[in-house]
Amino acid sequence: MPQPSSPFRSAPVSPLGTLAPAVGPSRPAGADRALRQGTALVTGASSGIGAAVARRLAGEGGWQLVLNGRDTTRLAHVAAQTSATVFPTNLTRPGAERQLAEFALGQDGRVDLLVACAGIGCAGDFRAMPLADIDEVVGVDLVATMRLVRHVLPPMIEAGSGRVVIIGSIAGAVGVRGEAVYSAAKAALATFADALRYELHGTGVGVSHVVPGVVSTPFFERRGVPYRRSRPRPVPPERVADAVWGAISHGRDEVYVPGWLRLPARVHGAAPALYRRLAARFG
């Protein structure tokens, strides 16, 4: 993959710390809500939700944006709209997430906000799914995100503030027919967000999990199978970006987009047998 060069601006590399407990007394609950508007790193920013989030953050002002994506042309276009610095790379490439983290940390010494939007899908019968596709979905949607969080988290903890926003999916909350691997990866992200939030309690660092339903992005054409369901209806990526900003500005742990999707997720959790009967009937 290409390395940052004109129009991509390079930056000095900062050493990464180790994940350690915060030093000093614990912060009271809610103390992580006063988030400094410093460096914000957005992955998957070349299109879709990531690009919408970048534009939303740029509209709020005060953020020094670092954008990541695989499509260098589209990424440069979004950067021009948002006055952002970019680091184009495929996060499944060995060491790519560390290089991205070091680049972002080099802007201001730390990343104050990480919005992990990078993700791909793969639809079809699991029995016929190529092993390479399974590895790629899990690598992009889950492993790369966890590795990147691991790199940017220590400076947040040391500073006593920061927020990690993970873009999940309703598929991870209820499971979707024909999307077994994608659903599994997004379900793992949801559990990761919960576990990390408990671990970071009292450090001043917050974790938000934003759970969209169907979004009008190139996601479906790239996975090779169009969206054919009558409901839920697709929402624009800007609506998800608004939800991300709401989670950031109000310190929310979990946000569903649209909000009514919380209901099937709750039914699935409280009465799984009932949910499975309904899903088998209505798809």
Distances (CA, A) of 174 to 150, 166, 169: 27, 17, 9
Q: For residues 202 and 229, what is the distance between their CA atoms, to the nearest angstrom?
A: 43
Which residue type does 194 have? D
Q: For residues 1 and 86, what is the distance between their CA atoms, to the nearest angstrom?
A: 13
Q: Are 205 and 24 in contact (CB under 8 A)?
A: no
Q: For residues 202 and 31, what is the distance between their CA atoms, to the nearest angstrom?
A: 8
Annotation says 182 is catalytic? yes
Q: Are 254 and 265 in contact (CB under 8 A)?
A: no
Q: For residues 283 and 280, what is the distance between their CA atoms, to the nearest angstrom?
A: 6
Q: What's the start-to-end Cα distance of the chain, in Å?
A: 40
Catalytic residue (one of 182, 198, 227, 256): 182
Which residues carry out catalysis?
182
